[in-house]
């Protein structure tokens, strides 16, 4: 979603969503085409009273830090998990991550799903 005032829009939306009994609010902190930047998570956290899940480009360390600071309640690691089915082990070992290959997302067969190199903690 791209808007001329993303922080204003998200602030308004976050406040209105408190009127509903949502299980959680899942927010992508940027757009897929990287045309919009700016912090939208802070105004959402300030106005939304429920569980807030952040997504888009988080590192393991950043996720830990933001959760510990109360900025978010959880992080969704979409494409990072596609390219690293062993993502928790990689984060724990501070190991390098496979780069996602978007051209293989949502295709048939194993390519892009089961053919990424596995983590070897040796």
For the chain, where are the E strands, in sequence order? 25-28, 52-55, 74-76
How do residues 14-46 score in pLDDT, each as one tens digit? Answer: 999 999 999 999 998 876 666 666 788 999 999
pLDDT (0 to 100) of residue 36: 67
Average pLDDT, the chain: 89
| Alpha carbon distance, N-terminus to C-terminus of the chain | 42
The tokens describing 90, both together, are 């990689």
64 pLDDT tier (thresholds 50, 70, 90): very high
- Local structure of residue 27 (DSSP, 8 states): E
């Amino acid at each position: 979603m791209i808007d001329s005032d993303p922080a204003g829009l998200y602030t308004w939306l976050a406040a209105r969503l408190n009127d509903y009994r949502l299980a959680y609010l899942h927010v992508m902190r940027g757009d897929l085409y990287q045309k919009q930047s700016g912090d939208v998570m802070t105004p959402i956290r300030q106005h939304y009273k429920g569980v807030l899940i952040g997504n888009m480009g988080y590192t393991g360390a950043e996720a830990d830090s933001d959760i510990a600071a109360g900025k978010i309640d959880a992080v969704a690691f979409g494409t990072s998990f596609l390219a690293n089915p062993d993502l928790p082990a990689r984060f724990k070992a501070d190991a390098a991550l496979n780069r996602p290959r978007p051209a293989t997302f949502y295709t048939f067969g194993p390519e892009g799903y089961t053919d990424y190199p596995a983590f070897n903690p040796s």
